[in-house]
Structure 1
Amino acid sequence: MPTAQNQMRLASALLEAGNAAEAATLYAGALQGPFTCDPDLRFGAARAFTESHACAEALIHLEQLRARRPEYRPDAVSLLLARCYAGTSRLADARQEFEHAIARFGTFEAHAEYSIWAVQTGDAATAAHLQSEIDKITSRWNAMARKLNDPVIQRLQTALSSSLRVH
């Protein structure tokens, strides 16, 4: 049945399987009608649009989510906002949002995403500072923590190796 809940489950599975564009379409469809304010749907749509490089579309969902439900997953919303600002060439907003995420949440993911952005924009000083913080954080990890954070670690390593090839 094409209910909003079923569309959300299918969209989530598609997103996790790497099919972000199709997931974004399903999430957008599920947001029509009575579920337009559902924070899980709106966040899922934002993630899917971000991963499919439709950052302007993702920003609409993220800004509505932050305005209407500021308590909903504030760390994840902040990082997606920063990535979307970067994806729409709002670099000052991206930097501000990354710095906000680090100051407020201080997570590995916040440091790593900011570092990825800094590397991609050629800000070597910020990337180096962040790398020292990342090294401190990861030095205390066990195997499970490494496994849970592997997707972000892989993205960071890819950004760093791409940067080395350019220089």
Structure 2
Amino acid sequence: MSPIVLLSIVLQIACCVHVVRTGRPLYWVFILLLFSYIAVLIYFIAEILPELRHNPDARKAVRRFKERIDPEREKRDASRQLGLADTLDNRRRLAAESLRSGDYAHAAELYGQSLKGLYATDPDLMLGLAKAQFGLGQWQGTRDTLDALIAANPDFRSSDGHLLYARAVEELGDVPAALHEYETVVQGFPGEEARARYALLLRRSGDAARAVAVFNEILARSGAAPKYYQREQGQWIELARKELASLA
């Protein structure tokens, strides 16, 4: 059997399975079996493509795929838009893309330029600046920026910002304060990173028993969670397993 025919059969079967599993009209099965590649293409355009456009996971997958092919694409587009119109939104977007790509110096510059006038204490801009400072290894600057953020915006809440604060305090060598911050942030953090970092610091500070308890909590929580959560948190779940094995 030629590879072309074999590929056609595989695609037809895959589409037929999709028809049955998603409850689409069964006439698609007959069309797919009769018209090979043309039917597969029509089915993809008519039924699968519209679904992908409205599926958050699919959009994320497409974005990741584009980033692998051209990781600087979004940053170039943001830079072009800022060149056309120097607005806060365009500057904010380029700052975020610079942060994502690891260009922390440029991100810090853009966030700093944006924190003026009415937006001098904007919490999202200040958090972005703190992230850029952390990327640059400016631990005290990160802590100062986050302290100023909370002072100016006492009702602002950010799990990422709280974790960043704990990490900055840890990097500054203030272990008791860092442990306190980690212990607080894990209560509402939507993932396992905060717990993993908390457990690592507990171990380094000599509290192996508490570290073991927190690592076990990571495994228990993730074990009861859906598969997608386990995939997203795989890095921290694997770290917990390795740390428990070494502590044993």
TM-score bracket for the superposition, by shorter chain length: 0.7 to 0.9
2:176 aligned residue (88, 92, 114): 92
Deviation, structure 1 residue 119: 4.7
Contact 1:66 1:77 in 2 (8 A): no
CA–CA distance in structure 2, aligned partners of residues 90 and 138 of structure 1: 30
Q: Which residue of 2 aligns with 1:64?
A: 148
| CA distance 1:42–1:132, shift in 2 (3 Å) | same
Q: Does 2:239 align with 1:146? A: no
DSSP-derived class of the 1:28 partner? helix
Q: Deviations for 1:92-146, whole angstroms, at most 9, x for unmatched residues?
A: 11111111223x4264332123124335556533332210111111112333223
Runs (4+) off by over 3 Å = 116-126, 146-150
**Could you say which structure has the greater relative contact order, defined with CA pairs below 8 angstroms and 6 or more residues apart?**
1
Aligned residues between the structures: 158
Contact 2:169 2:177 in 1 (8 A): yes
Q: State the superposition RMSD in angstroms.
A: 2.7
Q: For residues 1-167 of structure 1, what are the structure 2 equivalents within 5 Å?
A: 1-102=85-186, 104-105=187-188, 107=190, 108-119=192-203, 123-149=207-233, 153=236, 157=239
Q: Which residue of 1 aligns with 2:10?
A: none
What is the TM-score with the length of structure 1 in the denominator? 0.77
CA–CA distance in structure 1, aligned partners of residues 135 and 87 of structure 2: 24
Deviation, structure 1 residue 79: 1.3
| CA distance 1:68–1:119, shift in 2 (3 Å) | same
Contact 1:31 1:37 in 2 (8 A): yes
Q: Deviations for 1:59-90, whole angstroms, at most 9, x for unmatched residues?
A: 12211222222332343332111111111122
CA–CA distance in structure 2, aligned partners of residues 7 and 122 of structure 1: 45
| CA distance 1:52–1:138, shift in 2 (3 Å) | farther
| Paired AA for residue 157 in structure 1 | L
Deviation, structure 1 residue 32: 3.1
Contact 2:123 2:153 in 1 (8 A): yes
CA–CA distance in structure 1, aligned partners of residues 205 and 89 of structure 2: 39
Unaligned runs of 5+ in 2: 1-84
